[in-house]
Amino acid sequence: MIRTVRFIMLLAVTLLAQVSFFPAWLSPPFTPNLTLFFVVHLGLRETFSWTNCLAAFLIGLLQDCFSGCYFGLHGFIYLFGYLLLKQTSERFYTDNNLLIVMGVFLGIILDGVMTFCLLLLFSEADGIYGSLFSGLLPHALTSTLASLLLVRATPESAPGYAR
Amino acid sequence: MLEFLKKYRMQLLAGFALFAALIFFSLNLRRRDTTSPLEKVVLTVTSPVTGVIFGVNDAIFSVWDGYLFLTKVKEENGRLLRTIKIQNERLVRGNEALLENERLRALLEMKGGLPGSWVAVSVIAEEVTPWFRTVVINRGSHDALREGLPVVALSGIVGQVIKVGATSSKVLLLTDHASAMAATIQRSRARGVVKGQGGELCSLEFASRQDDIKLGDMVITSGIGGVFPKGIPIGEVTMVKKGEYGIFQTVTLRPAVNLSRLEELLVLVTPPQ
């Protein structure tokens, strides 16, 4: 229970910092996406449960509240990312912190590619693809750097932390 | 069959969850211009905190400009620095107040000159992803804001309100790919539709090859569609390209407003009669 409350508190603080602190100091595409870190953490460090599934979806919806005009876009992408991680996590040594950092990097790339695919299928936002792919790599690198700092600062990410 | 269902129960459920999330997303695409209850709650709950964090950022910027710059002088002369520091802090605060006063006064004059009823708002949160262009403002449905209202700054159009919470709202900037508005070239009265390009620029679509458009031309709102009042500056033409074939010409424009540094804005609540 205490872990869940701490997880939610940390998520709230990170989300607020992401939308109101970092944009004042960093310009796009160098603003980091920190919410994905929590989905990767759920996917790699926590056991599979439908509650965690719902949590990944809700984190995506929270991201959508502050980003773009397509509500549900990140909800779907984060849920997909979580399920993908759960399918593959048993093959990895998930206690390694660098795996979370790498997961965030690949997650941002997946986020960009899936945004491209979903908008191509469902939306009429022509031309978004140029700015999406040109900003993807710097966005992924900044997010990776931020997650490297976050993974060292959070006890939940410590190797062998109770699941 | 039952054996199959039992064996692949988890995979089927996961697939169903993904499918449900996709349906949720596609259903929300139809209601892109309305605010969902979750968005309302999140925008309302977070607006006081994000407002405070933005204030802290401003304070840090002020300290950075006014205080840290002078730390080298302190090494040379401590006593003199203390005096300078105090004076400088006052000066920075005074200048900041003066600039804010000028901005607000100009905004007030603009508000008085514009038709209809306007609400002054401040930006409290900005976009995270590099491929969308939105900001969050500190007013919502409590101040009569609703989806679709136009947002302007001192020098021109900023965008349109797309999501409304009780005390905060989300604004789609005119440089976002999903943004489009009817526009007119001020000099030649040629018409087109200004669409966002995702970066710092916009494009003027559907301007025919015969239209007289030149570099430096001011693009203003045409008033067609009834969302944006007529005659508000959108931007300045920075590139005109006519290919050998085709009906239209390619026109790029730079927004009149610096969208990366938005602070105080106006939202048109009641359109002009």
Tens of pLDDT, residues A36-59 = 999 998 998 888 888 899 999 999
Per-residue pLDDT, A110: 92
Structural domains in chain A (count): 1
Q: Report chain B residues whose CB lies below 8 A from the CB of A69.
A: 32, 132, 134, 162-163, 170, 172, 176, 178
Per-residue pLDDT, B273: 57
* Enclosing domain of residue A89: 2-157
pLDDT at A162 over 50: no
Domain-located, residue B148: yes
Q: Report chain A residues whose CB lies below 8 A from the CB of B206.
A: none
Are B172 and A139 in contact (CB < 8 Å)?
Answer: no
Per-residue pLDDT, A154: 67
Per-residue pLDDT, A16: 87
Domain-located, residue B42: no
Nearest chain A residue to B37 by CA: give it.
A65
pLDDT confidence of A80, banded at 50, 70, 90?
very high
Are B25 and A61 in contact (CB < 8 Å)?
Answer: no
Interface of A with B in 64-83 (CB under 8 A): 64-73, 75-76, 79-80, 83
Distant-in-sequence, close-in-space partners of A54: CB < 8 Å, separation ≥ 6: none
Token pair recorded at residue B77: 């002369």
How remote is the C-alpha of B118 from its chain's centroid? 17
Distant-in-sequence, close-in-space partners of B170: CB < 8 Å, separation ≥ 6: A66, A69, B39, B43, B134, B135, B136, B137, B161, B162, B163, B164
pLDDT at A138 over 70: yes
Largest CA distance in chain B: 87
pLDDT confidence of A163, banded at 50, 70, 90?
very low
Identify the burial level of A20 via C-beta atoms within 10 angstroms of its C-beta, where 0-12 means exposed, 13-18 middle and 19 or more buried. Answer: buried
pLDDT at A31 over 90: no
* Enclosing domain of residue B230: 116-273
Domain-located, residue B64: no
Q: What is the DSSP string of A7-48?
A: HHHHHHHHHHIIIIIHHHH--TTSS---HHHHHHHHHHHSPP
Domain-located, residue A64: yes
Interface test with A, best of B12, B52, B177 (most A CBs within 10 A): B177
Cα separation of the two ends of chain B: 67
pLDDT at A105 over 90: yes
Domain-located, residue A163: no
> What is the rounded CA–CA span in Å between residue A149 and residue A104?
12
As a whole number, mean pLDDT of residues A17-34 equals: 84
Task: Fill in the DSSP letter of residue B54.
Answer: H
Nearest chain B residue to A73 by CA: give it.
B25
Interface of A with B in 11-50 (CB under 8 A): 15-25, 27-29, 31, 33, 50
Query: Exposed e or buried b for every residue in B83-103, given b needs 16+ CB within 10 A?
Result: eebeebeeebeeeeeeeeeee
Q: Which of B102, B83, B93 is nearest to B63 (CA)?
A: B93
Nearest chain B residue to A64 by CA: give it.
B39
> What is the rounded CA–CA span in Å between residue B267 and residue B270?
9
Token pair recorded at residue B89: 């802090």
> What is the rounded CA–CA span in Å between residue B184 and residue B166?
35
Per-chain mean pLDDT for chain A: 85
Token pair recorded at residue B10: 């988890």
Distant-in-sequence, close-in-space partners of B238: CB < 8 Å, separation ≥ 6: B201, B215, B252, B253, B254
ipTM of the complex: 0.78
Domain-located, residue B210: yes
> What is the rounded CA–CA span in Å between residue B135 and residue B174?
11
Domain-located, residue A162: no
CATH number at residue B209: 2.40.10.340
Q: What is the pLDDT along chain B (273 residues), one digit of tens a residue?
A: 777 777 778 788 888 888 998 888 888 887 777 888 888 888 888 888 888 887 888 888 778 777 766 666 566 667 777 777 788 778 878 877 888 787 777 777 766 666 678 888 989 888 778 888 899 999 999 988 999 899 998 888 999 999 999 899 999 999 998 899 999 998 888 999 999 988 888 999 998 888 889 899 999 998 888 888 888 899 999 999 887 778 888 899 999 998 888 888 999 887 655
Chain A interface includes B38 (CB < 8 A):
yes
> What is the rounded CA–CA span in Å between residue B148 and residue B189?
25
Domain-located, residue A153: yes
Are A69 and B134 in contact (CB < 8 Å)?
Answer: yes
Domain-located, residue B185: yes
Identify the burial level of B21 via C-beta atoms within 10 angstroms of its C-beta, where 0-12 means exposed, 13-18 middle and 19 or more buried. Answer: buried
Structural domains in chain B (count): 1
Contact B123, B135 (CB under 8 A): yes
Interface of A with B in 110-149 (CB under 8 A): 112, 115, 118, 122-123, 125-128, 130-132, 135-136, 138-139
Q: How many helices (H) and strands (E) does chain B have?
A: 5, 12
Three-state DSSP string of B57-108: HHHHHHHHHHCHHHHHHHHHCHHHHHHHHHHHHHHHHHHHHHHHHHHHHHHH
Instruction: Indicate left, alpha or beta for A97 from its phi (over 0: left) and psi (-120 to 50: alpha).
Output: alpha
Owner of token pair 């139809």: B30
Nearest chain A residue to B41 by CA: give it.
A65
Cis preceding-peptide flag for B130 (omega within 30 of 0): no
pLDDT confidence of A98, banded at 50, 70, 90?
confident
Per-residue pLDDT, A39: 92
**Beta bridge pairs of residue B265:** B121
Are B134 and A68 in contact (CB < 8 Å)?
Answer: yes
Interface of B with A in 135-174 (CB under 8 A): 136, 162-163, 170, 172
pLDDT confidence of A81, banded at 50, 70, 90?
very high
Distant-in-sequence, close-in-space partners of A47: CB < 8 Å, separation ≥ 6: A163
